[in-house]
Amino acid sequence: MKRVILVMTLSLIIGSLIAQEIAQWRGPNRDGKYPDTGLMKQWPEEGPQMLWHYDDLGLGHGSAGVTSDRIFTSGTDEDGNGFVVALNHDGEKMWQTSIGEEWMDSFEGTRSTPLVYGDKLYIMSSYGYLACMRTEDGKIIWDVDLFKDYDGVNIKWGVTENLLIDGEKLFVTPGGEKNNVLALNKDTGELIWSSKGNSEISAYCSPIVVDRGLTRLLITQTAESILGLDAKTGEVFWTFDHPNKYSVQANAPTYQDGKVYIVSGYGKGGVQLQISEDGKSVTELWRNRTLDDRMGGVVLVDGRIYGSGDKKSWHCLDWETGEELYKSRMFKNGNIIYVDGLLYCYSEAGKVGIVDPKSNDYSLISTFDVPFGEKWHWAHLVIYDKKLYVRHDNSLMVYDITGE
């Protein structure tokens, strides 16, 4: 009987773990770092082997959300309607579900990466439509119109946010005067709390949640401000002015040991803030304008911040001081992730390269040119199960990067 109970208990635990498989923007911790090991340290001259490509995504800038049995991403059809599509690991379409009108005025296409949490998927369109659907078949479980239901407003290039779940709460930023930041129940879509924030429009930012002392802190940005909110109640603990020319704050905050770094681009650069021990206030530590990253993200590795600036500059800063340690013009600016000791860089000119951060100069070890897709190379790279996922608008390409 004891053995039967033990087996049943283990089965329940394992089943629970599988059910809560999570796939989200910029990796398990939203920091651009991926856990894979045993990857190639150098690619063949022609690049790693492409396993398959899928070319019916339409226009879009969302990355792939990858789980053990599915690959999820977003795209647009010929009529300008957005959709979420599920592929198996052979690149075959399993289902496709519409999410309504998408942004087709400028830099057109879907903006956000699907968030997968267990057997549910969450996505927000550039017109404020938020949907929760089943990962099994794409059936919509609940949906919310953030503009009609929560006084959300659209912004210059369409609202954009890579959604975040913490416990039962799904966080989203409609950018309304009253309902500025929301926590919704992830299973029902019902409102848990609403915060006025600074009553500013949203700014393309994707939030993070951190623990500071006894405080669970939601950190995000709106048009001109960095916000620190109580993740449990929505109370605004602190705000910090951080405007830039176009009110574009598209990079997620980077946090470590009570300090948060925010970089916004358009000449603003970045700032590091010290969060008080109770999480309820901040003080400025340093500023740096040389790393002027608009939307390519940064990674923090061994006390150094890596990322690209405007045009053809790639930078390395000291985490503690903000001092620029070195920079490079290895290729055009783009997005960056980190895995298995290497930086993976994807330029807006369509070239992917790997760099050893210990080289101290952004020396490219290997590169390849992205062969499929059109228009903008903006989707961030993804790595899962020793495979590299590269999105270029209508095409998703999958590469084997397994080491020997």
Query: Helix, strand or coil for residue 11?
Result: helix
Does domain 38-57+296-377+379-404 correspond to CATH entry 1.10.443.10?
no
Query: Helix, strand or coil for residue 107?
Result: coil
pLDDT per residue as tens digits for the range 361-392: 999 999 999 999 999 999 999 999 999 999 99
pLDDT for position 17 = 43
Residue-wise burial string across 311-329, b where 16 or more C-beta atoms lie within 10 A, e elsewhere: eebbbbbebeebeeeebbe
pLDDT for position 3 = 52
Q: Which amino acid makes up residue 276?
A: S
pLDDT for position 18 = 47
pLDDT for position 8 = 47
pLDDT for position 7 = 44
Closest Cα partner for 255 from 272, 235, 268? 272
- CA–CA separation, 276 and 288 (whole Å): 21
Token pair of 46, please? Answer: 């022609």
Alpha carbon separation from 351 to 56, 125, 331, 367 (Å, rounded): 21, 28, 8, 7
Q: Nearest 5 degrees, angle CA 319-CA 320-CA 323?
A: 75
Q: What is the DSSP string of 292-355?
A: --SSS-EEEETTEEEEE-STT-EEEEETTT--EEEEE-SSS-EEEEEETTEEEEEETTSEEEEE
Could you report the average pLDDT of every consecutive run of 10 residues in the chain (404 residues)? 47 48 97 98 97 97 97 96 98 98 94 98 98 98 98 97 98 98 98 98 98 97 98 98 96 98 96 98 97 97 95 94 96 97 97 96 96 97 98 98 90
